[in-house]
Structures are given as structure tokens and as C-alpha cells.
Structure 1
Amino acid sequence: MNIAVLSGKGGTGKTTVSTNLSLALKGNYIDCDVEEPNGFLFLKPNINEVQKVLVDCPDIDEDKCMSCGDCVNICQFNALAKVKDNIILFEKLCHSCGACKIACDYEALNYKKREIGAIEKGQSKEINCMRGLLNVGEPTAVPIIKTLLNNLPKGLNIVDCPPGTSCNVVNSLRYADSAILVTEPTEFGLHDLKMAIGVVRMFNIPFGIVINKDNNRDNRIRKYCKEENIKIIGAIPYSKDIARIYSNGENIYYNLEQKHIFDKLAEEVKRMIVWS
């Protein structure tokens, strides 16, 4: 069972919910926010395995290449360019689709492997932890997300998705059985929540809402969810004490005064799983 935790924008508390919910449910923590994977800062796992993520990249045989430009014309990602009598490769723009090799009549194109990041696995007390790491300067995170999610451990997995509604999020949701959308009671929070709901509904995934920095009033998020008949499954209070806990890199779930927040959320998630 894979539960995706996502938000329409960054900074809403998605990783706070993911890490503490993993502890409450004793589920595996999977960090798919490969450009900023900060869940390990809180869970502090002992990393015992590192796997390189490699992608295919064109390798031009200059002795065979006739500089005809057919590979350039077929490339939809502008990874190849013809400059005078030379074919220039921009390897970071390549999506490894294979079209250039098919188009080459002179068999001048083959593929080599190129490292773009890594998968790290470890153990934090009673839960397994995995995360993807995209190398600095790499523009495409999807291959790392796919590699990470194709090797999930058995059992319950809490998948900390990238922020926003980009292709990174879409690829993370392909593996989800249900979803938790984290938001905050601001106009920006509501705007981006609506976009996230649209993506989740596109996949027909059951979902619930968690409000972070909740003021316990009839705010714009609560009004919207009531109008749209969307279930709010949890709320994290607007609290200086809670802010102090996670600012120190600590887990809210281990604080005896705040532990009940995620125990209650865990029970709601169990009901959502049954419904799913």
C-alpha cells in the first residue's frame, strides 16, 4: 500500500506530515522530492546501501558520422545540434528516447551510460527509509523517481512527493493507492490546493486534506472543503512550540504533548486505506 503525500506548493509542511506519519504508522518512508530530499534530516537513518542511477546518452562515432543532420531533425528535446560540419550533443537535454539512433542510416550513434543521481536506503529505528538524490545541475528528475518507486519495500509506504503539480508529481502518483494533500489556510495555499486536487482526481485516487498551521477557525480551506464535500482528515495547529520542534530537526511525534496529532491522523489514514 502506497500513500502519496503531496502539496500544490512548497513549504506547506508536506515533509513534516510524511516523516511523522511514517513514525505513527510504522510505515516505510520514501522521499521522492529528489531535488530537495530533506526527510532524512528528521529521521536520521543509518544509510547501508547506495545505488547509482544511470541513463542512456548518445555516443557519436565520428569516423562513421556523415553530419547529415537526420538525428538533429528528429530530436524533440534539442539535445543535438548541427554546427557547420559537426554534430554537437547537449547530454543533459537528452531524454534517452532512442529516436536519433533509429534515424541514423550510417550506424554512427550508439548509447553509453551517464550518472544523474543515486538512491539511498537505510534504517531509522523501526522503519525503512529510501530517498532519491538528483545530482546538482541535472534538469530531469523523473528517471530517479521511477527507479526509486520501482524498488519499493513491501508493506505500507509513505511517499513524500515533490512539491507542485509538475511531471515529477505525476510520475510519483502513478504508484499511489491513496493520497494526502497538505495545505495551509492562505489564499496561495487554497489556489495551489485546487491544482493538486485536480491532479489527484485525474488518477481517480482517494484522498484527504491535512491543514498545517491551522487556526481552528472557519478559514478558507475549511469553507472550500465543505463546499466541495472534501474530507479533512487532520490539522496541525498554528503553534510556536511545534515550529520550534521541527526547526531543531526533531520529530513532532516524539513530543509527548504533540504526539496525539499524528496518532489521530494515523487513525484517519487507516480508514482511508480501508475505503481505498
Structure 2
Amino acid sequence: MNIAILSGKGGTGKTTVSTNLALALGANYIDCDVEEPNGFLFLKPKVNKEEAVMVEYPIIDLDKCTGCGACVQACQFNALAKVKDDIMVFEKLCHGCGACGISCKYDAITYNKRQTGKIEKGKLRDINCSRGILNISEPMAVPVIRELLSGLSQGVNLIDCPPGTSCNVVNSLKYANGAILVTEPSEFGLHDLKMAVELVKMYNIPFGIVINKDDRKDNIVKKYCDKENIELIGTIPYDKETAVLYSKGEILYDDLSHKKVFDKISERVKEVLSWI
């Protein structure tokens, strides 16, 4: 069972829910927010394995290249450009699709590999933890996300998705059998939640909502869930003690009062996502 945890925007508490719910469910934790992976700051697993993420990019053989520009026309990602009689390569824009090599009639294109990021794996208590880290200045996170999710462990996996609804989220979500959407009871939270809901619906998988910083009132998110017939999995109260523990980088689940909250949420997750 692969459960994606996502949010329409950053700062709603997605990683807070992901890390603590992983402990409550005894699930493996996968941090796909590769541009800013912070789940390990709280879980603090012992990292015992590191893998480089490599991607291909084209090399132009100047002795064979005629400057015809066929490769430039074939590239849909603007990774190649014709400047007078030369072909320029913008390797960080290359998606490694191989279209340029297929289009070249003169066999002037070969491929090399470069590192765009890395994957770290470790263990905390009885759960496996992994995260992707995108190299600084790299524009594309998808290759790291794809490599991170290519070998998911057996059992229950919690996929901590990037924030928002970008292609990074899409590439994380497509591995999921169910989803949890984390939001906060504000106008901004509801606005972006609606976009995340529409995205999840496209995959036709069961999902529910967790409200972080809940004001214990019949707020706009609860009314939205009721109106749209969306399952409310649980709430995390807006509490000073929660903020204090979070600011110290401590796991909420190790605190007795918060353990009860996440244990209750974990039981609802099993119900809502039809998890047997």
C-alpha cells in the first residue's frame, strides 16, 4: 500500500503528518520533496546507504556534425540550440529522451552521464526511511523522484510529496494507491486544497483530508468536506505545545498527547483508504 501525502501549498504541516503517521502506522517513509527534504530532521534515521542519481545528456561529435539542426528540431525541451553552424547543448535542460540521437543521420550524437542528485537510505526503529536530494542549481527534480520511487519496499509506504500541484507532485502521486491531503483552516489553505483535490481525483484513488492547526470550530475546510462529501480523516489541534516540540525538531508521536492524536488518525486512514 503506497500512500501519498500532499498539500496544495507549502507550510500546511505535510511533513509533520507524514513523519508522525509513519511511526503510528509502522510504515516506511519516503521524502520526495527533493528540493527541500526535511523529514530526516525529525525522524533522524541512521543513514547507511547513499546512491548517486545520474542522467544522460548529448555529446556532439564536431567531426561528424554538419550543423543541419535536425536534433534541435527534435528536442522538445530546448536543450539544444543552433548558433550559426554550431549546435549548443544545455545539458541541465536535457530530459534524456534520446530524440536528438534518433534524428541525427550522421551518427554525430553520443551520450554521457552526469549527477543531478542523490538518494539516502536509512532506518529508524523498525521502519525504512529514504529521501532524495537534488543538487543545488539543478532545475529538474523529476529524475531524482523517479529513481527514489522506483524500488519501493514491500508493506506500507508513506510518500511525502513536494508541496503544490506541479509535475513533481504528479510524478510522486502516480505511484500511490491512496492519498492524504493536509491543509489548514484558512482561505489560502482551502483555495490550494481544492486544486490538490482535483489532481487526486484524476487518479481515481481513495483519499481523505487531515486538518492541521485545527481551531476546533466548524471552519471553512470542514464545511467544504461536508459539502463535497470528502472524508475528513482527522485533525491536529492548533496548540502551543505542538509548536514548541516542532521548533525543537522533536517527533510529536513521542509525546503522549500527540501520540493519541496520530493513533486516531492512523485508524481512520485504514478505514478511509480501504486498507485491510
Amino acid corresponding to residue 47 of structure 2 in structure 1: I
The whole-number CA distance in structure 2 between the counterparts of 1:170 and 1:26 is: 25
Q: How does 1:117-128 map to 2 (within 5 A)?
A: 117-128=117-128
Q: Is the 8 A contact 2:231 2:272 kept in 1?
A: no
Residue of structure 1 equivalent to 2:89: 89
Report the Cα offset of residue 247 of structure 1. 1.0
Secondary structure at the counterpart of residue 122 of structure 1 = strand
Residue of structure 2 equivalent to 1:203: 203
Is it true that 1:241 corresponds to 2:215 in the alignment?
Answer: no
Secondary structure at the counterpart of residue 59 of structure 1 = strand
Is it true that 1:24 corresponds to 2:24 in the alignment?
Answer: yes
Report the Cα offset of residue 272 of structure 1. 2.5
Task: State how many pairs are aligned.
Answer: 276
Residue of structure 2 equivalent to 1:180: 180
With structure 1 as the length reference, what TM-score do the two structures score? 0.98
Report the Cα offset of residue 84 of structure 1. 1.7
Amino acid corresponding to residue 227 of structure 2 in structure 1: E
Residue of structure 2 equivalent to 1:103: 103
Is it true that 1:130 corresponds to 2:130 in the alignment?
Answer: yes
The whole-number CA distance in structure 2 between the counterparts of 1:166 and 1:16 is: 21
Secondary structure at the counterpart of residue 122 of structure 2 = strand
Residue of structure 2 equivalent to 1:259: 259
Secondary structure at the counterpart of residue 209 of structure 1 = strand
Residue of structure 1 equivalent to 2:14: 14
CA-to-partner distance for each residue in 1:39-62, whole Å, 9 max, x for gaps? 000000111111111111101111
The whole-number CA distance in structure 1 between the counterparts of 2:145 and 2:214 is: 31
Provide runs of 4+ in structure 1 moved above 2 Å: 272-276
The whole-number CA distance in structure 2 between the counterparts of 1:236 and 1:135 is: 34
Report the Cα offset of residue 274 of structure 1. 2.7
Report the Cα offset of residue 227 of structure 1. 0.6
Q: Is the 8 A contact 2:207 2:273 kept in 1?
A: no
The whole-number CA distance in structure 2 between the counterparts of 1:208 and 1:219 is: 17
The whole-number CA distance in structure 1 between the counterparts of 2:208 and 2:69 is: 51
- Structure 1 runs not aligned, ≥5 long: none
The whole-number CA distance in structure 2 between the counterparts of 1:2 and 1:73 is: 39
The whole-number CA distance in structure 1 between the counterparts of 2:222 and 2:272 is: 19
Amino acid corresponding to residue 20 of structure 2 in structure 1: N
CA-to-partner distance for each residue in 1:53-104, whole Å, 9 max, x for gaps? 1111101111111111111122111111111221110001111111111111
Identical-pair percentage = 66
The whole-number CA distance in structure 2 between the counterparts of 1:205 and 1:165 is: 16
Residue of structure 2 equivalent to 1:272: 272
Q: How does 1:135-150 map to 2 (within 5 A)?
A: 135-150=135-150
Amino acid corresponding to residue 18 of structure 1 in structure 2: S
Report the Cα offset of residue 143 of structure 1. 1.1
Report the Cα offset of residue 5 of structure 1. 0.3
The whole-number CA distance in structure 2 between the counterparts of 1:85 and 1:274 is: 60
Residue of structure 2 equivalent to 1:216: 216
Residue of structure 2 equivalent to 1:167: 167
Amino acid corresponding to residue 269 of structure 2 in structure 1: V
Q: Is the 8 A contact 2:55 2:115 kept in 1?
A: yes
Secondary structure at the counterpart of residue 195 of structure 1 = helix
Q: Is the 8 A contact 2:190 2:220 kept in 1?
A: yes
Secondary structure at the counterpart of residue 209 of structure 2 = strand
With structure 2 as the length reference, what TM-score do the two structures score? 0.98
